[in-house]
Structure formats: structure tokens, C-alpha cells
Amino acid sequence: MKMKLGASKSTMQAVDAIHKPVLPTKKLQMNIPEDLHKSFKLACLKQDRDMTDVTIELINNWMEKNR
């Protein structure tokens, strides 16, 4: 019997982790309004996206426009 690769979130995160290059990281800590945090978290959950990945994408987009 063959094992099939499931589509669960934890399996997909593990597969993504294998494919992502390991880069040095720094922690970004900030204060934002609670309602904005909740809305952002819910939007990320609805799209099955990691909040960190979305934040990095947003920062990269901002950097492209502001170099």
C-alpha cells in the first residue's frame, strides 16, 4: 500500500519549508490596533496564508515602490 501525500495544512507547511531557502532572519515586533490585527489574521486564515509571509510580501512591495 502506498502512502499518499495529504493536503492538510501541516503537510503543506512542511513541504513549503523544504522548498524555501534558509536565510538569516530578524524578528520584527510592532504594535498595531487590535481590530486591525484580528482582521489581518482572519484574512490570512481565509486565504490559508501565513501572516509572516503576507507581511514580507507587503514590505517587499513597499520597498520596490520606495527605493
Domain ranges of the chain: 36-67
pLDDT tens-digit map of 20-65:
777 899 999 999 999 999 999 999 999 999 999 999 999 999 999 9
Cα(67)–Cα(14) distance, integer angstroms = 34
- Going by C-beta distance under 8 Å and a sequence separation of 6 or more, which residues neighbour residue 48? 9
**Is the entire prediction scored with pTM above 0.85?**
no
1: pLDDT strictly greater than 60: no
